[in-house]
Amino acid sequence: MTMSNAPDPDPIAGPLSELQGCEAAVMRPLILVPTYNTGRILPRTIEDLLARWPEVWVVVDGSTDGSAALLEPLAANHPGLSVLSLPVNRGKGAALLQGVEVAAAAGFSHVLTVDADGQHPAGLVPQFLKLAEKHPRAAILGRPVFGPEAPQVRVQGRKLSNLMTHLETLAWGIPDSLFGMRLYPVNAFLEAFRETRWGRRFDYDAEIAVRLAWQGVPMLSVPVPVRYLTAAEGGVSQFRYMRDNLLLSSMHFRLLAGSLPRLPLLVWRSLHGGNPLRGIRVDTEEQP
């Protein structure tokens, strides 16, 4: 892994465990973007994010299309932009885990994950960060609001995955199991990954959400308008229907089995109110 413009660890902002007993502790968030062969849309996505928050890290997951080089002009003018390059493709979950581990060592308390393909609106970054300041122990999870251009096979297909995560967590409050715009407390994220060797590829989004729910991490849902870009606009997808649907299916069978020994705890939490942020309604506050 190579890294440019990496900040030194911040001695002021410690990990989330130090935030647990002090609501006024310093919160240091980072935007983290995994990318694999995203092409020319990548610098545009990163530039939009940098306009909203100065510290953005990009994890290049073994890309072979030269897209990482397109970030060099941005890096020259933005000291908070860092690029972590993995030599081979390891999957979205593995790339994010690598990035969060480095971010934790550098003193970041929270990470906002954003996809590199331009689907997630950068204008919502301030809202996610504001909600994290108000609820520092919570996972702030995007709930996609699809436009008419969204492929219906993707829109309808995720409903089964959402149903499964509700069963696996006794409806803790995961708004969408497959959506990638999320803000996590760093320590909770790393603890969820320590529990499993899975979740390193496309199964990451659902796997991490379920395991955070099993931990009892509060979850807050934020509606996020999603735009599917055409190929002419630079849109690209790494989703492979046969391969990744098989991966998701096996993941849900595994998570459902894993929920059984946790069932008494899940029932107890449900009877005592469940997710403490469930009743909070959040409206979209996208900035231009």
Q: What is the mean pLDDT of the chain?
A: 87
Virtual CA dihedral for 252, 160, 128, 189, nearest 10 degrees?
0
Q: Domain of residue 98: give its range.
A: 2-271
The residue among 113, 94, 95 whose CA lies nearest residue 198 is 94
For the chain, give the percent of residues with pLDDT over 70: 85
Predicted local distance difference test score (pLDDT) of residue 227? 84
Specify the range with the lowest mean pLDDT, choosing from 24-28, 128-132, 210-214: 24-28
Indicate whether 276 belongs to any domain. Answer: no
Specify the range with the lowest mean pLDDT, choosing from 16-20, 229-233, 258-262: 16-20
Instruction: List pLDDT tens digits, range 192-208.
Output: 999 898 999 888 999 99
Indicate whether 16 belongs to any domain. Answer: yes
Query: What are 182's two structure tokens?
Result: 């999320």
Indicate whether 232 belongs to any domain. Answer: yes
For the chain, give the percent of residues with pLDDT over 90: 68
Query: What are 94's two structure tokens?
Result: 């593995």
Half-sphere exposure of 207 toward its Cβ, with a 13 Å CA cutoff?
26
Whether the CB-CB separation of 151 and 240 falls below 8 Å is answered with no
d(CA 288, CA 285): 10
Predicted local distance difference test score (pLDDT) of residue 10? 33
Indicate whether 158 belongs to any domain. Answer: yes
Indicate whether 225 belongs to any domain. Answer: yes
Predicted local distance difference test score (pLDDT) of residue 7? 42
Predicted local distance difference test score (pLDDT) of residue 220? 97
Q: Indicate the pLDDT class of residue 15, thresholds 50, 70 and 90.
A: very low
d(CA 65, CA 116): 14
Residue 120, pLDDT > 60, answer yes
Query: What are 197's two structure tokens?
Result: 């060797």
Predicted local distance difference test score (pLDDT) of residue 18? 38
Residue 183, pLDDT > 70, answer yes
Indicate whether 287 belongs to any domain. Answer: no
Indicate whether 286 belongs to any domain. Answer: no
Give DSSP secondary structure letters for 28-49: -EEEEEEESS-TTHHHHHHHHH
d(CA 151, CA 157): 10
* CATH code: domain of residue 170: 3.90.550.10
d(CA 61, CA 37): 8
Better pLDDT: 51 or 17: 51
Predicted local distance difference test score (pLDDT) of residue 26? 82
Indicate whether 285 belongs to any domain. Answer: no
d(CA 228, CA 215): 33
Predicted local distance difference test score (pLDDT) of residue 276? 96
The contacts of residue 241 (CB under 8 Å, 6+ apart) are 153
Number of structural domains in the chain:
1
